[in-house]
Each structure stands twice: as structure tokens, then as C-alpha cells.
Structure 1
Amino acid sequence: MRTTLWAGSVVAVMLGTGVAACGNGGDATPADAAPTAVVTSTAASSPSATPDLDAAEELARGIDVPWGLTFLPGGDALIAERDTGRILRLTPGSQPRQVADVPGVAEGGEGGLLGLAASPDFATDNLIYAYLTAPDDNRIIRFRLDGGDPEVIFDGIAKAGYHNGGRIAFGPDGMLYAGTGDAGDTALSQDPDSPNGKILRLTPDGEPAPGNPTPDSAVYSLGHRNVQGLAWDTEERLFATEFGQNDLDEVNLIQPGRNYGWPNVEGEGDTAGGRYTNPLITWPVREASPSGIAIAGTTAYVAALRGERLWSLPLNGDTVGEPVAQLAGRYGRLRTVQVAPDGALWVTTSNTDGRGDLRDGDDRILRFPAR
């Protein structure tokens, strides 16, 4: 959890090229394969409208375990491939191209190159943030997209073959939030001195953010098993998705300093006199394994891996309405969902991650215009 330079490592930047660097990808999409574009033009979309889930556009296919997704000014997207360590830049209607090969990624199990977030000041600082599994830990780095050595801004998050967390996002307050997992050691989730099983709130330099519940601590909330998605509504409330164990997956309304119960509570249960906070909603794990979450207007969209569907969830203040299963079984496992600057909803599949049934063209990036 220190700010250091990753000495001797260089991010290989190849703007405007379609050449893929060597890597260690899976069998479905070899690391030297080039992802391909599908559509050559996209439908108009309005930020004030609702995503049309009956109007799917396949932007790209042949992506190797797409995990992180972030948008740049102007609407281009950066996509992280978990197992190869590559970052692709995708302009809707154009060929994906590799723009970076992140060094030091130790892929394996659920680990690898995970979440991405563009700096809120990207137009002037050109910085990209990434959450990744390294040989000894999970960590957050940042680097300039136009080249230079990556900088480790936060490290020491315990790693394992599973429960590595990995989602990062800048909040409305300009701070960097990170969802972590318990790395298979459930006691870490209740340990206030461990960054595991937490939502962390950091400055852009990786320091504990001012106003955190405990001064000089990065911990924003605790008692999590494996946080996979972070999103804010128009009232700047933070919602997070979380993998359950055998029974119940969760969507939580995150409030600073709250304890969300794991491992003492899975899903909704005894709050121990207010010590623990119950989730807003739960699903049986076979129907969800919720990964990314995005909010458009008053609806949250939750990408489900094992459930192979997109849940739409009405938000009613601090409560939620009845969820509706969308796209059930149509594209297989769904990993990440994000709202683009033009209001369109982007969704990534995750059938090349070793747990899905491969379909021709996997993995793919889908766009649903808002209209």
C-alpha cells in the first residue's frame, strides 16, 4: 500500500496499430490473434433516453476474456483482456486496436488484468488506472496512455486463485473506489487493517481519501466477500454487486463505515443489533453471480455470469423494485456493463474465461443504443 515506481517495466503503446503483442491467452482466442470489428456504423443514442435491449449491436468479437472497460472523452472505449494483459481501444464501428501491453500481470484463475478507469482529467493528464494481479499481490497502477513506466499507487491486496475483486471506478467526488475480495481468507473481510473484502476509497495518487470513516485508512466499507461492480446514481449514491458463496448474491447500497456482514452473514440475515447492513436485493447464485453494474436514469443493470442474463433493477430511492431478467441465455456469461457518454449501454461477454460454453465469435462487445 505504498506509492512506488514499477522500475524497469514499460507499457508498450501502439496507437493506431492492429498488431498484437505476445501474451499468455487462452485457447479460444490466442494472444497473437487480432480481435475483429463487426458493425461499421452504429445507431444514434441519447444520454437522456433508455437503452433499447432489443437493438443489440455487436461492436467487436474475438476478445480474450474482456474484463475492465472504461470510456475516453469522445466515446472511445478501452477494454482490458484479463489473461493476456492487453488493453484494446475500440471506436464504435472501427477495428479494435491494441494500445498497451501491461507488464507484470500474473494471470490465473480469477486473477489477471481486471478493472480499468480513465482519470477524470484524462484530457489533460492522459492517465489510465488498472487493477491487476501481480506475482505477489493484487495492486492498482496508473500509466500514461501515450507511453511511460507504470506507477504502483496501491499494493498489498492479498491474491488467490479466486476472490480477487478488481473493479475500480472514479466517483462523483473525484476519488478512486476499488472493490476487493477476501482472497479465500474470510477473516480478512472483518479485519479493518486489511484491504481485502472491502471497498476502498483513494485519492488519485493512491492515498487514503480525505473524509474516509477512519482517518488514514483506505477502507470505505467492509464485510464483503468479493465485490465485482460499482456504480453511482444521479443522487451520488454508491451501489455495489457482490458474489455470494453457495446461496445468495447481493446488490448493496454502500454507505461509509458500514459492515456488510461477510462471513458472518450471507445475503439478508441477522444484523446483530445494527452491526451489519443487509443488501438491497439478493438472488440465488445460479441466477446471477453478478459482476458489473451500471445505472442509467433510475434503472440499474447487473451483468450475470452464471445466470447468463442482464438483470434490470428499478431504483426507488434507498429501495429497489422487482428485477427483470433480460437477454437470458442469449449471449452466455455477461461480465461487464457500462453506460457510454452517449447513453448507450455496453455489455461484454465472458465465455472464454474457462467457465462458459464457447460460442462462435466469443468473446464479444455489445452495444444497446438509448432511444
Structure 2
Amino acid sequence: MLYAHTKAKLVMSALLLALPLSACATEREAMETGTETTTVQEEVKQPAMAAERTSAAASSKTGNIALVDSLQGGYTELATGLDIPWSMQFAGDTVYITQRGGGIVQVKDGKQTVQKVQTSKPLRVVGEAGLTGLVLDPDFASNQTAYIYHAYEQNGKGFNRIVRVKLTNGVWKEQKALLEGIPGGTIHEGGRLAFGPDGMLYSTSGETGQRELSQDRSSLGGKILRMTKDGKVPQDNPFANSYVYAYGLRNSQGLAWTSDGTLYASDHGPSGAPIPGGGTDRTGLDEMNMIKPGANYGWPKVMGSQTAKGMTAPIYVAGSRAIAPSGIAATPEDTILVATLAGESLKLFDPSTRKMTNILTDVGRVRDVMVHNGHIYVLTNNTSRGSAADHDDRLLQLK
């Protein structure tokens, strides 16, 4: 059993302690202006929690031990002192991590270096807005190109844009804006970027607290967007001349494909959101969705397991306590690792059983997760609305 020596300490209270992610809060607004290099000493930790072994069905899919079943317990710190990290990408053994307040941290050979990001429109950092999504070009090794999702301001209003950048002499420089005018604000910014098995670039976008945007197909807010590497609308998108691939989402921050090409996305439920006409929504109802082109996932007309004509129900709905799912990653066994913020844990979702189980707790809020070369990596997010420890925030490799 994973971390069996402390199974009795399943810390379910973590689900009760975190403030709802959708609550608006003032964040650090200073953009990185320099390059800083530090050396990280690796430390092996033993989490004080236990996590249940995933179902035997996950292992039987390949006839081998499942990735999560092979964990020995504990983790290694690969980077520390990160400032609101949001997204990570691997290029061989090198890791690149966005910080919401600005800069991309390179973690290489035990050292971490904050690299500047130069964009034609200044970074806007307020609330949940800033530098968030990052994905490396499939040919990064040869072209040193990546794509970022960042907030900016125009005529006094907040927006988001998807930009191609190139790493040149340790600085990420804008090459081309693929898409601008994505709704922005201070909450529900979305921001996850990923390349699909079809070679297309996908992005999540939030409804920025404006619920009506999610059902408005002419708006880019509350959607999953799909485009070519050059920012063009693919001819096979479900709606003609539109980047919209799926809609009716609130604040999706996770995208992952299983081996059969099925796309899954996490979405934040309404906990903490203001209710039109007065009051605050206290339900959890965070979701895992199986994404189909052109599908409507219902927000705000329906939520949780509610159904309505023409709307697609989620395949998993969390309970009344928010877990706030963020980044997700598929395992070799076609299960889904889920980083949770309010849930303060890394969880495992099995689409075949539709069950969610704990893998790692006692590290606080978890923003992103990746599987790389047979290992699981997570980014903590305690420097934003969490209880930051001395080394937070951190990049961890599970053992």
C-alpha cells in the first residue's frame, strides 16, 4: 500500500481547510526583472500521510505494476523557493516552470535559474492573472520554441493571449501572438496549454467570473480552444471559423489525453463564487470531463451531475467540499493524476471506475503534475493562498 506506514493518517481535513480557489485575492504583482541562479540541495522526504492503492484494474491493463503502485513513498526536492509556480515542461532532464508573477525558472543539473520573458504587451499580474500556461514545441530540441499563456491589459481591461516565444541566450522572446483578446479579469483565468496527439495546440480559458460567457460561443471565455501551431483555426474544428472546441466550462486548468486519444479536462466547481442577485455559492461540485468536439458542459445552466438537453454531464463530480482540480496528467495505465489546490493533494482518477483516490498529501496545495520518464513530478502552490513552509514552493519528484 502506498505510504503504508502512515495509512491511519488520511488527512481528509485538508479538504476543509483551504479557502475556495475562486475567491478573489490580492497577489504579488512584481514581474521578474533579472536572472538569478541558486543551487538546490536534494532532500528525501517521507510524507506523513497514507494513500490507498489504486484498483487492480489499473495494473491489469498492461499486465505490469501500475505507475502509482510502484511508488516507494517519499519524494525528492528538485527545486525550492519558487514564487507561485503554475506550469512545468520537460526538455530531457531540464525542467522549465512558469511563475505567475513573471519569469520562467530553468531547473538544470541541480541549479535553478530565473529566465526573463519578453513580450510585446506587458504582463498583467493581479489576482489569478499573470504568466500561467506553458508548453514546449514538439521540436523544442531543435527550434528552442515554446508557447505561453499570459495576462495583459488593454484600454483599462484585462485579457489573456497565447504567444509563441523562443529561448535565446537565456531569455524567452516573443516571436508571434497566436491569439489575443481571451477574456481576463482577476479570477477564473484558465490558462492550461497542451499539444494534442493530433498536433494541434489546445488551451483552456476561464469565464473570469462572468458566467454568461461560458454559453456564448462567440466569446473565447469558459472554453477549450483549439488551433494550429501558427494560430489558425483548424478546418475540422466543430464550429466554422471558430477556435472553440468545447464550451460550457467554468475554470478548466487541466488537459490530458489517454493512449486511445481521449481528451480529459478538469474544471473548478462553483464553490466561493458570487451568486447573481446576492449571496455566495458554497457547493463544491468540481468536475472531471471527457471532452468531445462541440460539446456543451453546461455551466452555468447546470452544474455537477445535473443534466439538460443538449448538455454533456461530467464523468466525475466531487462532493460538497471543493478540491479545486488544476493540472492533470495521464499515466501509462490510462488513469489520470489530478493536482488539487483546495484538496491539498495529488489524486488519482480512474475513468473506468470513476473513482478518485489520494496519492500524496501533506505537501499543501498542488498546482501541476507531470509524468516523465516513468516518474511523477508535482508543483506545490503554497505561496498563493496556502501556508508556505520554508522551502515553498517546490518541484518534487515522487519516489
Structure 1 distance, partners of 2:381, 2:196, is 26
Post-superposition Cα deviations, 1:217-240, rounded to whole Å, max 9, x if no partner, equal: 110000000111000001111000
- Deviations along 1:50-82, one digit per CA (max 9) or x if unpaired, are 14271311111000000011122x231110000
User: Which whole-Å CA distance do the structure 1 matches of 2:106 and 2:145 have between them?
Assistant: 14
1:17-37 C-alpha deviation (Å, 9 max, x unpaired): xxxxxxx9579x998875552
Does residue 97 of structure 1 match 2:116?
no
How far does residue 102 in structure 1 lie from its aligned partner after superposition?
A: 3.9
Aligned AA for 1:315? Answer: P
Cα distance in 2, alignment partners of residues 334 and 66 from structure 1: 10
Counterpart check, 1:337 vs 2:369: yes
Describe the shift of the 1:57–1:242 C-alpha distance in structure 2 as closer, same or farther (beyond 3 A). same
Residues 35 and 60 of structure 1 are in contact (CA less than 8 Å); yes or no, is this contact kept in structure 2?
A: no
CA contact (8 A) 2:266 2:325 kept: yes
Counterpart AA for 2:84: V
Cα separation, 2, equivalents of 1:181 and 1:66:
19
Q: How far apart in 1 are the matches of 2:230 and 2:104? A: 22
- Residue 281 of structure 1 is matched in structure 2 by 316
The reply to whether residue 350 of structure 1 matches residue 372 of structure 2 is no
Q: Aligned equivalents of 2:378 and 2:259: distance in 1? A: 21
Q: Equivalent residue for 1:192?
A: 217
Query: Using the alignment, how far apart are the partners of 1:168 and 1:71 within structure 2?
Result: 14
Secondary structure at the aligned position of 2:397 is classed as strand
Secondary structure class of the residue paired with 1:135: strand
Q: 2:392 maps to what in 1?
A: 362
Name the CA shift for 1:325/1:300 in 2 (closer, same or farther; >3 Å): same
Q: Is the 8 A contact 2:74 2:398 kept in 1?
A: yes
In the TM superposition, structure 1's runs of 4+ consecutive aligned residues that sit over 6 Å from their partners are 29-33
Q: Which residue of 2 aligns with 1:310?
A: 346
Tell whether 2:319 aligns with 1:300.
no
| Counterpart Cα distance in 2 of 1:218 and 1:180 | 11
Question: How far apart are 1:314 and its partner, in Å?
Answer: 1.6
In the alignment, is residue 265 of structure 1 matched against residue 302 of structure 2? yes
Q: Residue 251 in 1 paired to residue 281 in 2? A: no
Tell me by how many angstroms 1:271 deviates: 2.3
Q: Any gaps of 5 or more consecutive residues in structure 2? A: 1-26, 45-63, 272-282
Following the alignment from structure 1 to structure 2, what is the Cα–Cα distance between the partners of residues 285 and 130? 33
Q: C-alpha displacement at 1:292, in angstroms? A: 0.6
| Inter-CA distance 151–194: structure 2 relative to 1 (3 Å threshold) | same
Partner of 1:76: 94
- Residue type at the aligned position of 1:311: K
The answer to whether the 8 A contact 1:111-1:132 is kept is yes
Structure 1 residue 132 corresponds to structure 2 residue 150: yes
Give the % identical residues: 38
Shift of 1:48: 8.9
In structure 2, the partner of 1:322 is 355
Superposed, 1:148-163 pairs within 5 Å as 148-163=173-188
Name the counterpart of 1:3.
none
CA distance in 2, matches of 1:152, 1:285: 40
Tell me the distance in 2 between the aligned counterparts of 1:338 and 1:326: 14
